[in-house]
């Protein structure tokens, strides 16, 4: 089974609304990252939050991390049609000098113009 | 331009054949990764490497092999032992404890 699981699996909203995606993971992490993937393309990094951080912002993105609950959320404010994509959380669980990054199952976001 | 390049973009294979997917980066990253993505699914880790001549099995390494003879290159071989190889393969690289940079992927279809 995968380290991370996103919720919901799919989300459809109107342009201008906010979109919230959640990620739960199973083991302790060094950091958690969020990525975006347009259909059939490679992933693009959005934001990284370290295990000792609780919240981080980047433009219209806000990420929270609760290590006690092993969960994170990604908020996209004032969504645009161009935000339509799949979003994945990824966790770094490496140790001993190794960085091991594993991904969740993803949330497919559709923003309707 | 700096980046990570995967080739070929599309590859067709007959059952029983080995195929090798290329991944090259000029970002001077130590870490490199291979992931498999099935339709509508997340990414699953096949192999990863932190330094030259060293690599670790990921969650689904069976039927795959890799080498890391140069810092810039991390080729993946899909062997005939991989029973269901049709998938989208993604290569990534990164600095330690940092973000990953992805290639555009290679789509393998078994005929």
Residue A33 and residue B99: Cβ atoms within 8 Å?
Answer: yes
> Please, are residues B22 and B91 in contact by the beta-carbon 8 Å criterion?
no
Check residue A99 and give its pLDDT: 87
B73 Cβ contact partners less than 8 Å away, ≥ 6 residues apart: B22, B23, B24
The per-residue DSSP string of A13-49 comes to EETTS-EEEEEEESS--SEEEEEEE-TTS-EEEEEEE
Residue A104 DSSP class: -
Check residue B88 and give its pLDDT: 97
CA within 13 Å, CB half, B74: 33
Residue A48 and residue B99: Cβ atoms within 8 Å?
Answer: yes
Check residue A2 and give its pLDDT: 59
Instruction: Please give the Cα distance from A94 to B93 (Å, whole number).
Output: 15
Check residue B1 and give its pLDDT: 61
Residue B70 DSSP class: B
Query: Is B45 an 8 Å CB contact of chain A?
Result: yes
Instruction: Please give the Cα distance from B38 to B61 (Å, whole number).
Output: 15
H-run or E-run covering B95: none
Query: Is A97 an 8 Å CB contact of chain B?
Result: yes
The structure tokens listed for B110 are 């078994």
What residues does B91 pair with on adjacent strands? B34
Average pLDDT, chain A: 94
Which portions of chain A are predicted below pLDDT 50?
none
Interface residue of B31, B100, B101, B103 to substitute, partner A, most A CBs within 10 Å: B100
Residue A101 and residue B33: Cβ atoms within 8 Å?
Answer: yes
Residue A101 and residue B100: Cβ atoms within 8 Å?
Answer: yes
A6 Cβ contact partners less than 8 Å away, ≥ 6 residues apart: A21, A22, A23, A87, A88, A89, A104, A105, A106, A107
Residue A45 and residue B100: Cβ atoms within 8 Å?
Answer: yes
Instruction: Please give the Cα distance from A75 to A79 (Å, whole number).
Output: 10
Interface residue of B39, B43, B57, B109 to substitute, partner A, most A CBs within 10 Å: B43
Question: Could you state, in chain order, the average pLDDT of each consecutive group of 10 residues for chain B (111 residues)?
Answer: 90 92 96 94 94 94 97 96 93 91 96 86
> Please, are residues A72 and A65 in contact by the beta-carbon 8 Å criterion?
yes
- Residue for token pair 């994170």: A72
């Amino acid at each position: 089974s995968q380290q991370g699981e996103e919720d919901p699996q799919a989300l459809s909203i109107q342009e201008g609304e906010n979109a919230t995606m959640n990620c739960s993971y199973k083991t302790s992490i060094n950091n958690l990252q969020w990525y975006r993937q347009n259909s059939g393309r490679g992933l693009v990094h959005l934001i990284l939050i370290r295990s000792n951080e609780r919240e981080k912002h980047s433009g219209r993105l806000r990420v929270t991390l609760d290590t006690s609950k092993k969960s994170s959320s990604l908020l996209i404010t004032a969504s645009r049609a161009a935000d339509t994509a799949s979003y994945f959380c990824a966790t770094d669980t490496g140790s001993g000098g190794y960085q091991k990054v594993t991904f969740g199952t993803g949330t497919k976001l559709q923003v309707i113009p | 331009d700096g980046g990570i390049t995967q080739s070929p973009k599309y590859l067709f294979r007959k059952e029983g054949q080995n195929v090798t997917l290329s991944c090259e980066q000029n970002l001077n990253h130590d870490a490199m990764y291979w992931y498999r993505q099935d339709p509508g699914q997340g990414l699953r880790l096949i192999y990863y490497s932190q330094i030259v001549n060293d690599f670790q099995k990921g969650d689904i390494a069976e039927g795959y092999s890799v080498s890391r003879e140069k810092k810039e290159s991390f080729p993946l071989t899909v062997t005939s032992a991989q029973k269901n190889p049709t998938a989208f393969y993604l290569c990534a690289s990164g600095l330690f404890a940092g973000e990953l940079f992805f290639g555009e992927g290679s789509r393998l279809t078994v005929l």
